[in-house]
Amino acid sequence: MTAFLTIIVLVLVAIAIWQMTKIFELSQVKSEKSEVANDKDNKLNGYLMFGFLVFIYLLTIISFWKWGDKILGTPASEHGSEYDNLMYISMALIFFVQIITQALLHYFAFKYHGKKGQKALFYADNDKLEFIWTIIPVITLAGLILYGLYTWTNLMDIDEEEGDPIIIELYAQQFNWKARYAGADNVLGDANVRLIEIDKNNVLGIDETDPYAKDDVVSQTELHLPVGRKVIFKMRSQDVLHSAYMPHFRAQMNCVPGMITQFSFTPTVTTEEMRADQGMQSKVQNINQLRAERRANGEDVDSWEFDYVLLCNKICGSSHYNMQMKIVVEEEEEFNAWMEAQQTFGEQMASAQ
Ligand SMILES: [Cu+2]
């Protein structure tokens, strides 16, 4: 530690001496070593501007080439393609505009670099020009914002009466997820954090006296969803802010302690179908190749099979990175069979007596 402090002191002293010599140099009037940029400096800076332009374009091309396939791939929900379109259109527009404006900016900096005796043109203003460069971004941005708002309203318009949805509660806590199905009556029973009873395994604090709660089904390991059926998620959190993130379904909603938030989507691709998806297969292959390399280095990792996941997308604590739940999207019959095999909350409480 003392050695480290000594080094820091020495470095600071060196910087101080260097700064003092600079000040001393500046205070001397020397005409041959002027601080004013000459033609050679300006030319060099002009070329550096060009060089920087080439650098950012190359960086873009390499990024696309190397990581272009890291996007999420086929969306697995009804609204997914609508959501993807909004993002692709916005990105394409930004990309197009930035390619042109960066080229112009750096080219002009190069073309009009300082030259001895050359004087900049004094050009006060031009109403027509200002109108054009104001109105074009205004129209483009207004279009994008309206399109975004339209898509957002479409996604967030959750109608519980329409399309026979199933109601599922997602319950977040440090650091896991639990899912509660509303059962045959499709109404979730009341719940409160004060009613949590670990001895009876009532981990969600479901109200035993509420008749709607009797047929509720709690799953602590997997979230099963029937394909093609609208799902309305009601999110709760026990402790801090979490965020239910289901990237393959293009869905995310914050889970806020003390309130219920909601999100709805219709899954369109079963787990089996997604496993057969070509883009997904190449991703899985890539991951398994990395895992094989780690295995070769003596690490204990299995090869991976694709599964949908529910992740937490808010940094909620030390094990946030591992706060996830497997999602299984399956045919209606398979879903019903799975549901049949689960214990209802009423049965669970009866057996806990
Ligand atoms: Cu979390």
Q: Which of 319, 289, 294 is nearest to 304 (CA)?
A: 289
Q: Which residues pair with 149 in a beta bridge?
A: none
- Give the integer Cα–Cα distance in Å for 163 and 186: 13
Hey, what are 267's tokens? 């899954």
Query: How many A from CA of 216 to the centre of ligand 1?
Result: 24
Does residue 154 lie within any of the structural domains?
Answer: no
Concatenate the DSSP letters of all residues of 277-317 into one string.
Answer: -HHHHHHHHHHHHHHHHHHHTT---------EEEEE-S--S
Query: Does 332 share its domain with 253?
Result: yes
Query: How many A from CA of 168 to the centre of ligand 1?
Result: 18
Q: Indicate whether 31 pLDDT > 60.
A: no
Query: How many A from CA of 316 to the centre of ligand 1?
Result: 5
Residue written as token pair 């979490």? 242
| Of 145-149, 164-168, 195-199, 230-234, the least confident | 195-199
Hey, what are 70's tokens? 């890291």
Query: How many A from CA of 317 to the centre of ligand 1?
Result: 7
pLDDT of the residue at 353: 65
Predicted model pTM: 0.77
Q: Which residues contact 324 (CB under 8 A, 6 or more apart)?
A: 177, 309, 310, 311, 312
Q: Which residues contact 260 (CB under 8 A, 6 or more apart)?
A: 234, 235, 236
198-237 tens-digit pLDDT = 877 788 888 888 888 888 888 989 999 999 999 999 999 9
Does residue 159 lie within any of the structural domains?
Answer: no
Query: How many A from CA of 3 to the centre of ligand 1?
Result: 43
Q: Indicate whether 7 pLDDT > 80.
A: yes
Strongest mean pLDDT among 74-88, 113-127, 146-160, 202-216: 74-88
Query: Does 94 share its domain with 175?
Result: no
Concatenate the DSSP letters of all residues of 194-212 into one string.
Answer: GG-BTTTTBTT-B-TT-GG
Greater model confidence, 26 or 174: 174
Query: Does 101 share its domain with 224?
Result: no
Q: Indicate whether 344 pLDDT > 90.
A: no
Q: How confident is the model at residue 125 (pLDDT cuts 50, 70, 90)?
A: confident
Query: Does 234 share its domain with 314?
Result: yes
Query: How many A from CA of 177 to the centre of ligand 1?
Result: 9
Does residue 61 lie within any of the structural domains?
Answer: yes
Among the candidates 87, 115, 143, a domain finishes at 115
Query: How many A from CA of 186 to the centre of ligand 1?
Result: 27
pLDDT of the residue at 351: 80
Does residue 186 lie within any of the structural domains?
Answer: yes
Query: How many A from CA of 148 to the centre of ligand 1?
Result: 27
Query: How many A from CA of 171 to the centre of ligand 1?
Result: 10
- Give the integer Cα–Cα distance in Å for 138 and 128: 15
Query: Does 176 share its domain with 248?
Result: yes
Query: How many A from CA of 256 to the centre of ligand 1?
Result: 11
| pLDDT average, residue stretch 100-122 | 87
Does residue 42 lie within any of the structural domains?
Answer: yes
Query: How many A from CA of 218 to the centre of ligand 1?
Result: 19
Does residue 270 lie within any of the structural domains?
Answer: yes
Q: Indicate whether 32 pLDDT > 80.
A: no
274-295 tens-digit pLDDT = 999 998 999 999 999 999 999 9
Query: How many A from CA of 189 to the centre of ligand 1?
Result: 24
Does residue 127 lie within any of the structural domains?
Answer: no
Query: Does 339 share its domain with 220?
Result: yes
Query: How many A from CA of 93 to the centre of ligand 1?
Result: 34
Query: Does 80 share its domain with 209?
Result: no
Overall domain count for the chain: 2
Query: Does 317 share its domain with 173?
Result: yes
Among the candidates 115, 132, 156, a domain finishes at 115
Among the candidates 115, 132, 149, a domain finishes at 115
Segments forming the whole domain that contains residue 104: 38-115
Percentage of residues of the chain with pLDDT beyond 90? 57
Identify the CATH number of the domain in which residue 347 sits: 2.60.40.420
Q: How confident is the model at residue 69 (pLDDT cuts 50, 70, 90)?
A: confident
Q: Which of 209, 188, 92 is nearest to 144 (CA)?
A: 92
Query: How many A from CA of 162 to the centre of ligand 1?
Result: 31
Does residue 18 lie within any of the structural domains?
Answer: no
Query: How many A from CA of 311 to the centre of ligand 1?
Result: 8
pLDDT of the residue at 202: 83
